[in-house]
Amino acid sequence: MANRRTPGAKQRRKGDKYKPYVSKDMKKKLKKELANRPPKTKYQRSLKHIERGQETIQAQKRQIEAERKYRQEANASTSAVGYASTDTEESDSDGLSTKGTFEDLAAEFNEQIGLVIDSEDDSDSAVDSEAEEEELDDEIDEQAEEDQAQMEESDMDALVSNSDAGASEGDEPDEVLDEENDEESDEDEELLPDESDLSSDDDEETTNDPYMLHTAHNLSPAMVEALAAEPPRVETHTVSFGSLGNVYVELPKCRAPGTSRPEAKGIFAKERYAKPGTLPTVPEASEDGATDWDELHVKDRIVRNMTEGMDALQRDTFAILNGYQDLHYPQRSFDNADRLRYVYCLHALNHVLKAVSKIQHHTIKLTTSRATNKKKPAEDQFRRRVKDSKKVQVGDEPTLGTEYRDQGFVRPKVLIVVPFRESALRCVTVLKRLFAGEQEKSVMNWKRFTDEYGGGSSLHFPRRNPKPADYERTFAGNIDDNFRLGIAFNRSTMKLYAKYYSSDVIIASPLGLRMAIGAKGEQHRDYDFLASIELLIIDQAEVCYAQNWDHVLHVMEHLHHQPKSTEYTEFSRVREWCLNGWSKFYRQTVLLSAFELPEFRWLYNKHFHNYRGKVRSCKRTLTGTIKHVVVRVAQNFQRVETTTLDGAGSARFSHFLNVVLPQARTVSMARCMIYVPSYFDYIRLRNHFKKEELSYTQICEYTTDAKIARARDMFYHGSKHFLLYSERAHFFRRHRIRGVRHLILYAPPVFPHLYPELVNLMMKENQNPHDGVDDESMTVTVLYTVYDTYQLAEMVGAPRAKAMIKAPRSVHRFTTDQK
């Protein structure tokens, strides 16, 4: 009975580890749970090795402690038998034999640990032994901490190189990743800065470099109070600034200098605050047109690769950017786009190279300081004892350790937001030319970049019925709007496709950043790489607005948050103003757009917090785009009365239903196209038309090609009375809608150049010759409110827009002869 066992059960051998019984259902449940878990990171997989390293360190500490105790017991035994500590004492007693016995014992012991004992170490007092014990314990702990830090640092490096967080689009093969890791290890050997970068600390205090003046010091309490106020306390100035025309400059308004005393920093040094911004000055052009780059503190590496000079627009723009002031320039066009791109890429590269050189310089200093101040190893305590150790006196000043605050929480410093891959390709091409010149070997992964971001145009532009010229120039090249690209710089190389947390510059689209950041409630979100952005550039803001302006606002809301993870942060090097949460006051923001919009002005007022001040170029349009209308048609502008911005949408909808729609439903207003700039208003009108069962068809940005063709055909032949047409559909497709006899603009177009294009669709060659409508009966109606001032000024000119807003009558009519 004792040997009876359950049939089919395996007999457990002696020494085997007991395993509890698990049923098949439990195994399936465990496998399902394991499958749903996120994959382990490199750091988590390395924990076992870290624990083994810690156990090894503890074993070394125990071995050294045992040797120390053995040494102490041996000394105690020799003193008990009357050991002579000097060579002048001569004795024939047993102490002599004891001395020889101890020397033999000590020599044998030190041969085992590879050391030699000095003869002067034999006279140890109780106080010296206690001091040695304390010093030895400190050295043991310090050595253990250094070993553990080195192991964790190596694991962190492996984690950074192999982690998927912040990766650019797509997964790479393992072979490519291994090659990139090898390239990174080769780059680390070249991190030595140039000799011109090795400036002393005294030079940093007296330098006129705008980068150092902007980032080296903290803000004064008065400055922080002025910037944190709601609204911020600023002084506004209007300055004539060369080719930029009149500019508005806003500077933080602090207390007058001299009213507050400098506050003490600790007990040794006085706090030195950052200097507030001043009015920008127009750079003076030399007779030969050359620029003194040394005076502008541009890196020599960049100057060597500059093959062309700068014109007046570039020179004036760079003067503002180099002074680290925010800039909003609403006069970007196809003619000056390349010149503006060249300027902000030059400024971004100059900023990054200065930051990288300063960090490398300080790293070398810290490494040298640690090497010179490094304590002797623990074994030296057994070999010799420092006799004349310097004791700290009461009047001596304590020596402070070397400390450099030159970094943010994470490495990325520059963020460039552009709408398309073609725009990113042009930016990287400029950075490559300024950094490496014609040496493509200095740019890593260049071929892969040109294959993915180049490759010709993504759209086919017909030659028979060509699209407008601005459309072909806007959508030329690769127009993919979901991308992210990290760029890392060191002394001699520029690496594309770097990981987010290993990059200095990030070039991305609003959608790509939105996908990387994630939405609220998602499990895996990551926006720590935006915690230390020092330079933000938003180019082609109007195209980003057409894509989705909410993505840009989402990015702005996630800038400069406290990082959730500290694995990429070296707190001993983080600047104090980063730790204080003042990073947004040091960020320089550049916004380039083709025209003014309320959304752009709101972004300028709410998210431009630079303590150096901000500059806004004034764009005053005199005539507007109405001058490009060639069709002889009456253009009626009707003002919708409203008192609040929140009620403007409801007031516009009520005015349309009560005033415009009853007249548009008549037979004489057949073939009426309703142009709606906002998609929310488009949905509102579509639902009302569907509810009232009106004869209409629709085209929006989400309509398929087949439905678009069907809607255009029905509207042209008169099968449908109304055509609802959204602005985004026209911007991204530029359909030539034929058969339009009456045009109603529910609101002024966001893109002002679309207004004459829409009106000119009513030309005779675009009409159905069998519709029986007289050309003289065609009409154009535009609805506007007092909050559409920017759009209205771009259409009819600033003087007319101002008069139309303030005029007592609400209807204004323009004809082609009055434009």
Closest Cα to residue 590, out of 314, 208, 238, 330? 330
Report, as an integer, the average pLDDT of 241-267: 71
Q: How many Cβ atoms sit within 10 Å of the Cβ of residue 363?
A: 16
pLDDT on residue 377:
52
Percent of the chain surpassing pLDDT 90: 51
Contact 505, 416 (CB under 8 A): yes
| CA 742 – CA 673 distance, rounded (Å) | 6
In this prediction, residue 255 has a pLDDT band, given cuts at 50, 70 and 90, of low
pLDDT on residue 77:
59
Q: Which residue's structure tokens are 């949905």?
A: 683
Q: Which residue's structure tokens are 């989402």?
A: 554
Hey, which residues does 507 pair with through a beta bridge? 416, 485
pLDDT on residue 371:
76
pLDDT on residue 173:
38
Hey, which residues does 329 pair with through a beta bridge? 592
Percent of the chain surpassing pLDDT 70: 75
pLDDT on residue 647:
92
Report, as an integer, the average pLDDT of 561-568: 89
Checking if the pLDDT of 564 tops 50, the result is yes
Q: How many Cβ atoms sit within 10 Å of the Cβ of residue 225?
A: 15
Say which range, 65-79, 244-258, 603-617, 626-640, has the weakest mean pLDDT.
65-79
| CA 367 – CA 387 distance, rounded (Å) | 28
pLDDT on residue 103:
55
Backbone angles phi, psi at 235, to 5 degrees: -110, 130
**Residue 174 CB contacts under 8 Å (≥ 6 apart), including other chains:** none
pLDDT on residue 37:
74
Q: What one-character-per-residue DSSP string does 632-680 give?
A: --EEEEEEPP-SSSTTHHHHHHHHIIIIIHHHHTSGGG-SEEEEESSHH
Closest Cα to residue 731, out of 710, 704, 747, 753? 753
pLDDT on residue 284:
79
pLDDT tens digits along 717-733: 999 999 999 999 999 99
| pTM, two decimal places | 0.74
Residue 185: CA count within 13 A, CB half-sphere: 9
Report, as an integer, the average pLDDT of 183-201: 47
**Residue 265 CB contacts under 8 Å (≥ 6 apart), including other chains:** 271
Helix then strand then coil, in percent of the chain rounded to 5, is 45, 10, 40
Contact 675, 743 (CB under 8 A): yes
In this prediction, residue 123 has a pLDDT band, given cuts at 50, 70 and 90, of very low
Asked if omega into 330 is within 30° of 0 (cis), the reply is: no
Is residue 117 helix, strand or coil?
Answer: coil
Kindly list the domain boundaries of the chain, sorted by start residue. Answer: 201-255+289-368+405-458+483-617, 626-815
Report, as an integer, the average pLDDT of 340-366: 93
In this prediction, residue 482 has a pLDDT band, given cuts at 50, 70 and 90, of very high
pLDDT tens digits along 368-405: 877 776 655 544 444 444 444 445 454 444 445 577 88
pLDDT on residue 464:
80
pLDDT on residue 165:
39
Alpha helices in 281-336 (DSSP H): 300-304, 312-322
Cα–Cα distances (Å) from 765 to 715, 722, 738, 762, 773, in that order, read 16, 21, 9, 8, 14
- For residue 391, give the H/E element and its range: none
Identify the residue with better confidence: 45 or 478.
478
User: Are the folds of 201-255+289-368+405-458+483-617 and 626-815 the same?
Assistant: yes
Checking if the pLDDT of 619 tops 60, the result is yes
Contact 501, 568 (CB under 8 A): yes
pLDDT on residue 203:
53
User: Does the domain spanning 626-815 belong to CATH 3.40.50.300?
Assistant: yes
Domain covering 201-255+289-368+405-458+483-617: architecture: 3-Layer(aba) Sandwich (3.40)
Checking if the pLDDT of 143 tops 60, the result is no
| CA 679 – CA 677 distance, rounded (Å) | 7
Identify the residue with better confidence: 194 or 318.
318
Cα–Cα distances (Å) from 669 to 43, 688, 749, 772, 776, in that order, read 70, 19, 22, 12, 13
